[in-house]
Amino acid sequence: MSLLESTIARIREPDAGAIAEAAARQDRLTKPQGSLGELEALSIKIAGIVGSGRPRLGPGAVFVMAGDHGVCAEGVSAYPAEVTLEMARNIARGGAGINALARKAGARVVVADVGMACDLPPAPGIYIKKVRRGAANIARGPAMSRDEARRSVEAGIEVFEAELAREAFAIAATGDMGIGNTTPSTAIASVYTGRAPRELAGRGTGVDDAGLERKIRAIELALAANRPDPEDALGVLAAVGGLEIGGIAGLILAAAARRVPILVDGFISGAGALVAQGLCPLAARYMIAAHVSGDSGHRFMLEALGLKPLLSLGMRLGEGTGAALAMTLCDAACRALDEMATFEEAGVSGKEEA
């Protein structure tokens, strides 16, 4: 049995007993029922994931998966491919947006090279899991072989497991770095939502109108050339995906197998989440949608995943930035469930029975 198969085999339904216990406690807390809105539902979901009716979250970890894309040759990005390496270095040094927001959330940042075209110098907090030097140009053929797709997913699993063994964390978040990666992500979104690329494609790094048309055309070519089958998630990843997208799918599967809440960031993470759900539908029960991004098609991705976003701030940076912000909400939801007194504990008169 491969690492991917053994990981999927360990994924079970969330803990129904913990869900019931958390829901019952929410109804007895010193507040009108439902008055904390989505925080109540969030705390109950986390209870089921971790298997405790009164969950408490400790430190978190943000995993930034990095990879390059041959489709950049089609003029789909406003930035050159070299920026992937430069930004991965910046994240590793602590100078990126994700670092600032993760520090505020009390989370560490981990960077993994799953498929960069250049080499990232080894350093603490960096994992070198390169499957190949960048995905191929999906407008002209498949992104990678099926074996490479599997290895990219397993790279995400390996990074998650290695970091968990190195220093435990209670909640995880997905992040990405890869110039051009909104193009394969849009292709994946099209496969799983059934919507045309023109409905889903955004401006990514800020391409102009001509660049957006090139991007849409590249996605259309990729779908026509590769004909990905939504019933074959690994095949979709191999046909029109990216190596860091596969790594994100692996992170999600590993988190589900370990019963760790996993915050799914934006558009690229959404593509990884769709692949993870395709590989194991139960994995979606462990995902928490951090936010709905400013990318056009992200809301359709979340609908396909059955997830409701916690935040809507128009963010589209990626890196795990939205997920880092949402970590604080997850902690707050659990603290409210655990630390608020019930009517009985506080000696407060509750709602009278009819």
| 130-151: b (≥16 Cβ within 10 Å) or e | bbbebbbbbbeebbbeeebbbb
Q: Cα torsion at 92, 94, 100, 106 (round to 10°)?
A: 80
- pLDDT at site 122: 82
Q: Which CATH architecture has domain 60-331?
A: 3-Layer(aba) Sandwich (3.40)
The question of whether 40 is a catalytic residue gets the answer no
**Sheet-wide strand order for 126-128:** 126-128, 107-115, 60-67, 171-177, 262-264, 287-289
- pLDDT at site 203: 85
What pairs with residue 65 in β-bridges? 112, 176
pTM (whole model) above 0.95: yes
Q: What angle do CA 14, 18, 19 make, to 5 degrees?
A: 70
- What is the distance, to the nearest Å, from the Cα of residue 107 to the centroid of all Cα atoms in its chain? 16
CATH class of 3-56+335-346: mainly alpha
- pLDDT at site 44: 98
Q: Where are the domains of the chain?
A: 3-56+335-346, 60-331
Query: Same fold for the domain at 3-56+335-346 and the one at 60-331?
Result: no
Q: What is the pLDDT along the chain (354 residues), one digit of tens a residue?
A: 999 999 999 999 999 999 999 999 999 999 999 999 999 999 999 999 999 999 999 999 999 999 999 999 999 988 888 899 999 999 999 999 999 999 999 999 999 999 999 998 888 889 999 999 999 999 999 999 999 999 999 999 999 999 999 999 999 999 999 999 999 999 999 999 999 999 999 887 788 989 899 999 999 999 999 999 999 999 999 999 999 999 999 999 999 999 999 999 999 999 999 999 999 999 999 999 999 998 889 999 999 999 999 999 999 999 999 999 999 999 999 999 999 999 998 888 876 543
d(Cα 307, Cα 298) in Å, to the nearest integer? Answer: 11
- pLDDT at site 124: 87
Q: Which residue in 40, 158, 163, 319 is the catalytic one?
A: 319
- Nearest CA among 120, 95, 125 for reference residue 108: 125
- pLDDT at site 206: 81
